[in-house]
Amino acid sequence: MPLLEIRDLHVAFPKGKKTEVEALRGVNLTLEKGERLGVVGESGAGKSMLAFAILNLIADPGRVSQGSITFHGENLLDLSERDIRSIRGNRISMIFQDPMVTLNPVLSIGTQMIETLKAHRRISDKEARKLCIEKLREVAIPSAESRLEAYPHELSGGLRQRVVIAIALLTDPELIIADEPTTALDVTIQAEIMALILKLCREKDVALLLITHDLGVVAEVTQRLMIMYAGLCVETGQTRGIIDAPQHPYTYGLLKALPQKVGRGARLYQIPGSMPPITALPSGCAYHPRCDRATDVCRSQIPPLENGRACFHPLNVPEAT
Amino acid sequence: MTTPIVETKGIEVRFPLPTHFLSRDKPVLHALNTVDIAIQPGETFCVVGESGCGKTTLGRAIIGLQPPTAGEIYFNGQRIDQMDEATRKPIRRDMQMVFQNPYASLNPRRNVFETLAEPIRHLMPETPASEVRETVENVLAVTGCDPSWQRKLPHEFSGGQRQRIAIARALVTNPAFIVADEPISALDVSIQAQILNLMTDLQSKWGLTYLFITHDLSVVEHFGTRVAVMYLGRVMELAKTETLFDAPKHPYTQLLLDAIPKLEGGSFDTPREPGELPDPVNMPPGCPFAPRCAMAEARCRAERPELRPLSNGARVACHFAE
């Protein structure tokens, strides 16, 4: 049984009085124990919506309109708010984009860490403190003991995100959902934080769902990849395989548009246009207006996700043997 | 060598920080420390560094949005930093800026035509109305904007379209020099290539000179003629793009290059120690990078290395670079 299994997930938001628009239009995903999966897409593709849905955090008036999210064989969508709380922040931890927003500015680091622990464990203050220091050491925060008294504003952006990671690890989760964990940070700090997340996931055999727009980051950290476009998964498979031989024209375009893929000074490959908003999706394949391989069938039918890609005219198709 | 289009000589920018009314010391933040750069006509001069390194302050000082507290700035051989507003006005036509966030840099209540006509009306008031219209239409066409956009407001556009409009606004006065401060950082990946290609095309068509400010080294490698790597208000390495990427000489440049995630993978496999920036208010006496540098010795903590030329043509501020 996989650790996490998502089947045909739809998330809808009301538009006007009677109609709804879908931010997720039927997403499937499986994650095994200890596996690292990258979810890549541009803003509005629905990747954060996916994370929110797993944690039952979709804000009203949005709702999960269809599908199932199974964690250890239990459908998270059927759980009461109380039961989901025993999973959220405990067996499934989160790391969000901006550590200045996720940490409470008026509470010391120690107070916030102990609070998290006590919400999920029966533990004495003394033991909780000991455990917090241990976790701060694990994320390589210098002079961990004295940092418990510090407030978030006294730490640099990189150290703050390390604290967030330490909090995420406190309850020994089986799955960490990291939503753009390094987008707000400088490049050198990004490298430090991603190297740390990678090391911890490997050592503790924790599964990782890494949401990002950066193909370089997923190439460094994840084993499997899922490319999202306009609320659907358009390509999925082994990270290496997709990066070396993308099959969906969108993935191909994203990779080819990277400056590191062409020679110095050469013209960059560009995908024309931009992603449609969910309120104005074209018919058929949502990517067809930007696609140079599109034909009539792409304009009328949504391509099913088969053999790891949702495309009628894929590239780099391995020859049948 | 031709006259540089823009030259800075020892410019410094200091910001006095708020003080407690009983306190005697007056803390000062050194945002820029003796920066000397010379930008040649037609080149793309890139400035890279992490947040707080002074790269934006440098761009703002050159364009005139942040007067330097010391030093001199020249434009085509003419000193501009001490000019009064009236003398400077004709020069502003030749120097324009594109900002990072096109959601903040366009006036939400002004339509595209008004946004683009404003710089012409302000800087070239003698231009007849018919010519203003013609210029706006031409510039919209070369920047890949549809003529129908003129009557629309910023909220009707996507981020990439807004950045095209911001670039068009910078071009309406027919400038020679453009400061582009992180012009693609706020945009989606598939849109970044569109904007970079547009900037390349405009440069070859109009012979523009760019000061391109960014934190993204892979963009610099693709786009830049020369690069200045900045750290805490100082230039640490200045070299031609090929030279810098083929043989980085400063340990900080090396650190930045190692931090880029690679499609081949493998560079995040070893854990990295947390790097701490020294306090920019109370800077240590030696090299600003010494606390993070693996090569640092006692000399680095005592004596600040000056920018000096190396045999490969690069200029590097490190005692050990050769």
Q: Name residues 209-238 of chain A within 8 A of B (Cβ).
A: 213-217, 219-221
Q: Name residues 197-256 of chain B within 8 A of A (Cβ).
A: 197, 200, 215-219, 221-223, 241-242, 255-256
Supply φ then ψ for residue B148, to 5 degrees.
Answer: -70, -10
Is B258 an 8 Å CB contact of chain A? yes
For A243-264, write each residue's pLDDT tens digit.
999 999 999 999 998 887 777 7
Are the beta carbons of B266 and A141 separated by less than 8 Å? Answer: no
Length, in residues, of chain A:
321
Helix residue spans in B179-294 (DSSP H): 189-206, 217-223, 241-246, 251-259
Position A273, amino acid: G
Average pLDDT over residues A108-127: 93
For residue A4 the two structure tokens come to 């996490």
* DSSP code per residue over A155-216: S-HHHHHHHHHHHHHTT--SEEEEESTTTTS-HHHHHHHHHHHHHHHHHHT-EEEEEES-HH
**pLDDT at residue A320, rounded to an integer:** 59
For residue A288 the two structure tokens come to 């067809």
Of 3.40.50.300, 3.40.50.720, 3.40.50.10470, 3.50.50.60, the CATH number of B1-18+27-87+209-261+272-322 is 3.40.50.300
CA dihedral sign of residues A294, A299, A305, A306: negative
> Strand A19-31 to strand A4-15: parallel, antiparallel, or no bridges (unpaired)?
antiparallel
Q: Is the peptide bond before A61 cis (omega within 30 degrees of 0)?
A: yes
Are the beta carbons of B275 and A188 separated by less than 8 Å? Answer: yes
Q: What is the pTM of this model?
A: 0.90
Query: B229 to chain A, minimum CA–CA distance in Å?
Result: 14
**pLDDT at residue A274, rounded to an integer:** 87
Average pLDDT over residues B154-168: 92
Nearest residue to B218 (alpha-carbon basis) of A8, A215, A296? A215
Mutate which: A48, A163, A188, vs B, most B CBs within 10 A: A188
For chain A, how big is the Rg over CA atoms in Å? Answer: 21
For residue B126 the two structure tokens come to 């003698």
CA distances from A164 to A117, A161, B12, B34 (A): 13, 5, 37, 38
User: Torsion angle, CA of A143/A144/A150/A152, rounded to 10 degrees?
Assistant: 110
Confidence check: pLDDT of A321 > 60? no
Is B156 an 8 Å CB contact of chain A? no
Average pLDDT over residues B104-110: 94
**pLDDT at residue B197, rounded to an integer:** 93
Cβ–Cβ < 8 Å for A103, A112: yes
Is the ipTM reported for this complex over the cut 0.95? no
User: Torsion angle, CA of B86/B87/B91/B97, rounded to 10 degrees?
Assistant: -50
For B10-33, write each residue's pLDDT tens digit.
999 999 887 777 777 778 888 999
pLDDT-derived band at B153 (thresholds 50, 70, 90) equals very high
Query: B212 to chain A, minimum CA–CA distance in Å?
Result: 15
Nearest residue to B212 (alpha-carbon basis) of B196, B231, B190, B201? B196
Where exactly are the structural domains of chain B? 1-18+27-87+209-261+272-322
Residue B172 DSSP one-character state: T
Nearest residue to B95 (alpha-carbon basis) of B165, B171, B36? B171
Cα B89 to chain centroid distance, Å, stands at: 22
For A287-300, write each residue's pLDDT tens digit.
999 999 999 999 99
- CB burial readout A175-195, b (16+ within 10 A) else e: bbbbbbbbebbbbbbbbbbbb
Nearest to A268 among B193, B255, B276 (CB): B193
Query: B261 to chain A, minimum CA–CA distance in Å?
Result: 5
A291/A295 Cα distance (integer angstroms): 9
A162/A155 Cα distance (integer angstroms): 10
Beta carbons within 8 Å of B89's beta carbon, 6+ residues apart: B123
Q: Tell me which H or E stretch contains A71.
A: strand A63-71
Nearest to A257 among B189, B223, B255 (CB): B189
